[in-house]
Structure 1
């Protein structure tokens, strides 16, 4: 691999002039390049090495679509951007968030110094030496008093894959943590679990070209028109006049464009999918050759879904028998059917089995491995897939297993560490970590690039738990997040555009992020912060090879060999750049057979899956009752989800853009049906009080015909929304169910 100039920073306020000298004085060998801005990169696209006026392409840092953005440079720094026309993901398109990706870096509330909480509740800026000494002393003190497992981390789908790998390895192999999870538990755990059980590996099989190749697209609990607008643009490029079937309780923007909208009552997805499966079987649409050769469990599936008649399911779900039959006929007779789902499925108390019901339909009709087909989970965060593969949360790094001695030995060998340093069990899930705080089992917590005080279910309780900790460290690009307000120590992190590495998008594509600006003040890349933590913890020898992001990428390649996600055939970062991203797998064998990977590749074309028998499993289970049904006191079912194209997650970034702020309502709002509004004597724009068993809030009424009577919808982006949501979880994935909470809505006096 090539060696290019190191990424250095020249701002006199940066810790280049502070931390390296302190560390060098202590060790006699640590330098700026080794700790702060790692030294041998394959990109060379940095403020110090770029020509004065040029362009470079990097992947967007918002959602998992993974669009290519052309960054326009002046005097060595990015000053503007346009969509990259040749990038195989977005083909010259960008959503409003992508257009504003640079602007959100310039906010006044960027974290620019390490901050330590004062006795009066305020914060004092401190040096990196003081911050990392405090970090180490406090966490080690907690472990000495309460045991190794008394500290934990909550990670993210927002940082680079190399940073995720470093964080997980540092925490679990070096610092002795067993428990650490990511905020991908809130968005993608259900899809991960479903794929693992059905396919034998977490393997989204599709490529974005399938949006254009399908003659029938089925969207379940998915509104890509708002949530993933560039993917929706790919649907609009489909020249086959496809049938579009939407299964969703709301008449969303995507549903308005559908040829068939099954507007079910909330949380009847699983019953409807089983009824459709039953009709596919009864009406002779099963691809028996594919089923016999490539699946197991068909007879059990047939017996299970036989009880889901159109009559019984229609009555309970609020749609007609004719709609169920028409959907089954459409799926059964079209040549290329793709089925897509997002948070409406994943964030459910029975989400895993619902996702597998979608997978079952694709499998029994032979709609997998061919253009325009697949059971396709659309990912949420920009690098949730990186978290799934590399973060050491639900899997041992590289999608190995903590419980497998052979996997532990392989990881130890490739990383040059002692096998005894690797935990032998999977750590606690996010909800169990929070429960551990409640039980006084977790006393210290490290939160990286996520905002649980806003986003975690039953928000009031979550904030109380954060305040219960002995020591809370928040590592973020902003000092103003709801979670940072609870911190004892804030570590200022660089953002997208201020560091290097890779993201992996929904279609398994590795793409590059590039440093095209300086981070403000003393802020450092997460990678550099982790190197600092490793040094102060006394782990220089263990992480001697982890010198820079591309060096870690090479370690990731070695760990991937023999795995379904093998990327050992990628030459270097430059090849990823030249190719517009590379989808996994791309093994050494793949590279030997073809010099350049095809820009669009899908899985399972050979009908071979990742179970030992190379067959996919058809899995079904009983439908379970809703944990909190409506009643006389709380008669309305509240759903949550994405609000507008210009909002994103907890708005820590999108709220910083004046353009994006103009594109969505400033105040929290709740969508209610016209009939319900009339019965409450509420007009559009009136303030109403929304109350659940957990909290109460004020919101503006948005009177719409797109939600049914007895139902309501609030965007998840507003801070207040999760005051209402119920703390219950899918039993297999442990993903929270945000979409169904019983509330009452009253006109505010």
Structure 2
């Protein structure tokens, strides 16, 4: 029998991306940390693989270097995620790094003139610490909060969460991942016992029925759609979405449910499958619990109710049920159309219930699969220290606190015993005068937060706002008291964890401009100036933190203690968790692994739970004054979130409209006298915005769609939240439109 080393040697050579200095040499520290220090040469001329820093797909990109600096890129043909493919953002990933408007030096607002002025790092750090300590001394420790991101590497997320909560006494902290993935996190925890997306991208190619819910995969995750195009099973591609999106057009079946009727629709579908006997009784008996209660609950959702609420006929429902029944490998996928809802958790669990009741779990081409948004949202979920203690642990569990304290080298007394506030609660806390200082990192809430004007009003009430970002001209940075210039993706080292749980490597292949520092080194500076540098003595460099991750996750469902370091991640083409020391051979044999193949879950009884609940009304129904439902989402493959990076690329700017537009159905346009490409005003109870009319049957009568990337759009949205995940409901508010 071949040894592990022999198997490694057999598998690794084909996926190594370059023959040159070892990865360990590529990633070596430039020396002692110092302000203004010119780093050593990164690598000689070479090509090396780096994980893309845009979305959660986690593509591998070949970086071509000259004199230690990345000068161009190509998609990696061997990386198991994208297999030689890249979207427009991936091809242009280096361009935002070279933007002329990068933040290059700290800037502090002059209290006399009101202008931002360049200062030294020493001045910036003293102002940061003095201001936050002053706020805490006057208003208590809970008067300061932070809002971070899914865009920085996991090692930096962990350092921020540990520094803020274990070093600076900041109880309240959250991230912009609350806007995209909180619903799926809670749904998985309640249903499976841990936040565990079960799939691998290979499942796109293995399914014979693919059900996409609230997911415009062609636009939001084009490489995943290309993985579907590689499917040789001639799959049924079922799209459940109010809009006739690009994905719906490309699919084989489209069910245009009415906005926010998801829960009624899926309960009705479950009831129909149960009535027809199209469930896997053996799997239900062996691997689940609470099915009888769920069965009783969904009896109230007959086909007449589904048609009345969701607008889908009984014939259509029978066709869908039969499609699922006939499928041998059915996979269910969802994204923001489900997550960004006032009842998103229960909707996600309704999809999970369909997968487990039909036995479509743990086998190739199956699963209840949430697709993440940001490149490191999964890393944030495990290591940001916000919704759980580092490594998926529980703040309230004394054994977990003791374990984490020992691993990271802090005294247990510094670890709080409970969670802080969620994003929306932090904003409410500012309005209520409870929070006076805010630290915002790599996110742009003045643009992206729901009911935008309320966020703007909140930050104006703060005593002190710090923004740590690549750019000093984001909408949020422009109102900051202090701007800390941060290095971007590919200007630092660390790991991202993508949608399929794959840990991928980010390398420093480009030098940050001016005096900009990696977020990791900014945190080291803050720890020193705050006076807690010794408490974080183990946090010397990113790979040291990555090594701590192995110890932190040991014994957890996300255990990847078998990963020996960055070199192993690089050589393996990324590694999915779990990867315990006794699983390394399995990883070598198959680097596309799914969870629950043994039918065992993470609850104490090892069973998946059927979780369900009552249907709740939307926060703002339509009326005579506001008769249209406004839907929001991604606009094009060339745009990303608030466009703080993609708008730096001339190529990407040419691939989408340069001004806000609103899609409306031709019948509505005729009724209102609106011509294509004419100017209209869209008005909600909160604001009015001007837009260009895009007249298209892709939306149904009575519905409008606006892309989220344009800053004016979120002035319209209504701030309502799922009660379990506290995720905002971006997908529904009442508006009117006029010429």
Give the TM-score category using the shorter length. Answer: over 0.9
> Shift in Å at residue 121 of structure 1?
2.8
Instruction: Please say if residues 38 and 549 of structure 1, whose CA atoms lie closer than 8 Å, have aligned partners that are also in contact.
Output: no
In the other structure, the counterpart of 1:86 is 78
In the other structure, the counterpart of 1:643 is 635
Distance 1:341-1:5 versus aligned 2 partners, 3 A rule? closer
Give the SS at the match of 1:153. Answer: strand
1:471-510 aligned within 5 A: 471-510=464-503
Give the SS at the match of 1:502. Answer: strand
What are the superposed Cα offsets for residues 304-353 of structure 1, whole Å, 9 maximum, x if unpaired? Answer: 11111112211221121111111111111210000000000000000000
Distance 1:280 1:333 in 2: 12
Does residue 354 of structure 1 match 2:347? Answer: yes
Give the SS at the match of 2:536. Answer: coil
Give the SS at the match of 2:533. Answer: coil
Does residue 711 of structure 1 match 2:710? Answer: no
Instruction: Please say if residues 403 and 424 of structure 1, whose CA atoms lie closer than 8 Å, have aligned partners that are also in contact.
Output: yes
1:293-332 aligned within 5 A: 293-332=286-325
Does residue 205 of structure 1 match 2:198? Answer: yes
Does residue 720 of structure 1 match 2:712? Answer: yes
Give the SS at the match of 1:359. Answer: helix
> Shift in Å at residue 180 of structure 1?
0.3
Select the residue among 114, 132, 143 that pairs with 1:150: 143
Distance 1:378 1:389 in 2: 16
* Structure 1 unmatched runs, 5+: 10-31, 40-45
What are the superposed Cα offsets for residues 397-454 of structure 1, whole Å, 9 maximum, x if unpaired? Answer: 1110111111111111112211110011111000000010011111100001001000
Distance 1:678-1:144 versus aligned 2 partners, 3 A rule? same
Give the SS at the match of 1:97. Answer: helix
Distance 1:589 1:287 in 2: 32
Distance 1:294 1:329 in 2: 24
Instruction: Please say if residues 38 and 528 of structure 1, whose CA atoms lie closer than 8 Å, have aligned partners that are also in contact.
Output: no
Distance 1:595-1:621 versus aligned 2 partners, 3 A rule? closer
Give the SS at the match of 1:358. Answer: helix
Distance 1:116 1:8 in 2: 30
Does residue 570 of structure 1 match 2:563? Answer: yes
What are the superposed Cα offsets for residues 453-497 of structure 1, whole Å, 9 maximum, x if unpaired? Answer: 000011011101011000000000000101001100000000011
1:280-679 aligned within 5 A: 280-591=273-584, 593-594=585-586, 596=588, 598-679=590-671
Distance 2:278 2:644 in 1: 48
Give the SS at the match of 1:33. Answer: coil
Instruction: Please say if residues 7 and 38 of structure 1, whose CA atoms lie closer than 8 Å, have aligned partners that are also in contact.
Output: no
In the other structure, the counterpart of 1:178 is 171
Give the SS at the match of 1:491. Answer: strand
In the other structure, the counterpart of 1:77 is 69
Does residue 33 of structure 1 match 2:26? Answer: no
Give the SS at the match of 1:712. Answer: strand
Distance 1:283-1:531 versus aligned 2 partners, 3 A rule? same
Alignment coverage as a number of residue pairs: 717
Distance 1:171 1:140 in 2: 12
Instruction: Please say if residues 34 and 547 of structure 1, whose CA atoms lie closer than 8 Å, have aligned partners that are also in contact.
Output: no
What are the superposed Cα offsets for residues 167-213 of structure 1, whole Å, 9 maximum, x if unpaired? Answer: 00000000001100010000000000000000000000000000000
Distance 2:394 2:139 in 1: 27
Give the SS at the match of 1:690. Answer: strand
Does residue 161 of structure 1 match 2:154? Answer: yes
Distance 1:400-1:38 versus aligned 2 partners, 3 A rule? farther
Give the SS at the match of 1:644. Answer: coil
* CA-atom RMSD in angstroms: 1.5
Give the SS at the match of 2:271. Answer: helix
Select the residue among 116, 120, 129 that pairs with 2:113: 120
Distance 1:364-1:128 versus aligned 2 partners, 3 A rule? same
Give the SS at the match of 2:233. Answer: coil
Distance 1:169 1:681 in 2: 57
In the other structure, the counterpart of 2:678 is 686
Distance 1:350-1:38 versus aligned 2 partners, 3 A rule? farther
Give the SS at the match of 2:32. Answer: helix
> Shift in Å at residue 49 of structure 1?
3.6
Instruction: Please say if residues 579 and 587 of structure 2, whose CA atoms lie closer than 8 Å, have aligned partners that are also in contact.
Output: no
Distance 1:330 1:135 in 2: 59
In the other structure, the counterpart of 2:3 is none
In the other structure, the counterpart of 1:20 is none
Distance 1:2-1:222 versus aligned 2 partners, 3 A rule? closer
Question: What TM-score comes out, normalization by structure 1 length?
Answer: 0.94
Distance 1:737 1:2 in 2: 43
> Shift in Å at residue 4 of structure 1?
3.9
Instruction: Please say if residues 174 and 423 of structure 2, whose CA atoms lie closer than 8 Å, have aligned partners that are also in contact.
Output: yes
> Shift in Å at residue 35 of structure 1?
5.6
Instruction: Please say if residues 29 and 541 of structure 2, whose CA atoms lie closer than 8 Å, have aligned partners that are also in contact.
Output: no
Distance 1:335 1:501 in 2: 40
Distance 1:383-1:114 versus aligned 2 partners, 3 A rule? same
Distance 1:275 1:595 in 2: 40
Instruction: Please say if residues 360 and 366 of structure 2, whose CA atoms lie closer than 8 Å, have aligned partners that are also in contact.
Output: yes
Instruction: Please say if residues 24 and 566 of structure 2, whose CA atoms lie closer than 8 Å, have aligned partners that are also in contact.
Output: no
Distance 2:482 2:186 in 1: 34
In the other structure, the counterpart of 2:259 is 266
What are the superposed Cα offsets for residues 130-189 of structure 1, whole Å, 9 maximum, x if unpaired? Answer: 000110111011111111111010010000000000000000000001100010000000
